[in-house]
Structure 1
Amino acid sequence: MKVILKSKITCPNCGHQKVEEMPTDACQFFYKCENCKTVLKPKQGDCCVFCSYGSEKCPPIQRDKGCC
């Protein structure tokens, strides 16, 4: 299975979107929206901001290995 390394993250506060490269070996717990400066945190039950707000889940989840 091919792992997708880029994800379009969408700010729930202002709707701003940006394609970001995801780390392959760690979770990203915080992400600051470059538009409204809101600091995003994962939703309850998610391991990282990409799993909560991204167009693609983080690489460890894509590999079915769980996350951090």
Structure 2
Amino acid sequence: MQLESTLTCPACGHQQIETMPTDACQFFYDCRRCGLRLKPKSGDCCVFCSYGTVPCPPIQTSGVCCS
């Protein structure tokens, strides 16, 4: 399982490598450059599934998101 994912801000394009939590989904992330609060896109469970290079650990292991 990969625990690091690169998040890309849709507003300014800033990329940041972050370590994903293994016990919960992350619903919000504040861009470190422009301050935009990222939220999951419709149908995605977390910001990593929407804006990251690697899906969150629950999706990686079981294909099911933590709710």
- TM superposition score category, shorter chain reference: over 0.9
Long gaps (5+) in structure 1: none
Q: CA deviation at 1:65?
A: 4.5
Listed one character per residue, the Cα deviations across residues 42-64 of structure 1 (whole Å, up to 9, x for unaligned) are 00000000000000000000002
Number of aligned residues: 66
Runs of 4+ in structure 1 deviating by more than 6 angstroms, as ranges, are: none
Normalising to structure 1: TM-score of the pair? Answer: 0.94
Long gaps (5+) in structure 2: none
- The corresponding residue for 1:15 is 13
Listed one character per residue, the Cα deviations across residues 7-63 of structure 1 (whole Å, up to 9, x for unaligned) are 000000000000000000100000000100000000000000000000000000000
- The corresponding residue for 2:2 is 4
Normalising to structure 2: TM-score of the pair? Answer: 0.96
- The corresponding residue for 2:27 is 29
